Amino acid sequence: MTGCSRHAATANRLPSFVVTNEVDDNGKVRQLIEFTNGLSLYVTESWITVWFGHGYDTVVGFDPKTLEPQKILWEIPPSGTNPGRAVFDVNADGVPDVSELKDGSKTRQIFYRGEWYTREQNGARTSIILDGKKQRVYFDGRRWQTESTNTDVIEVTNALISTSF
């Protein structure tokens, strides 16, 4: 048979791993997959955590029945003069919503129209400084929106945003 000559592709060997069950700090069982290169996966009934080492984590909360992602958290370590931060996507749509600086200040920022703004919170109200002026904003369950300052409009308050993981 005349034909083509195919070269066997060489595959890189993947790191070895071990799978164990362990009890977390809250007394819940989780499955742990540890790779020899330092990567780890923690799996519970409704969370998966990928630990990359060196302070990088990704946590995805999902519905245990549908497996649909519901929340995402990225832990990012400090780099150069930038402090570490926790970035939350509270509705798992791929767009970050809130971040918290890990520099001791616990400064929270919101992702509004493609930019990070320091969040000022007064009770249930959230404000940012936009173009040099204080602007009230609210989270509509999907994105941060400008709150109307028209007093004839029914007042809108912030939706509860759960960033606990």
**Residue 83 shares a structural domain with residue 135:** no
**Residue 61 shares a structural domain with residue 42:** yes
Q: What is the pTM of this model?
A: 0.76
* Residues whose CB is less than 8 angstroms from the CB of residue 139 and which lie 6 or more positions away in sequence, other chains included: 90, 97, 110, 126, 145, 158, 159, 161
pLDDT of residue 76: 95
Number of domains forming the structure of the chain: 2
Could you tell me if residue 10 is inside a domain? no
Categorize the per-residue pLDDT at 147 as very low, low, confident or very high, splitting at 50, 70 and 90: confident
Domain that holds residue 141: 113-159
Task: Choose the weakest-confidence range: 77-81, 89-93, 111-115, 159-163.
Answer: 159-163
**Residue 83 shares a structural domain with residue 137:** no
> What does the pLDDT look like over 92-135, one tens digit per residue?
999 999 999 999 898 999 999 999 999 998 888 899 999 999 99
CA atoms within 13 A on the CB side of 139: 21
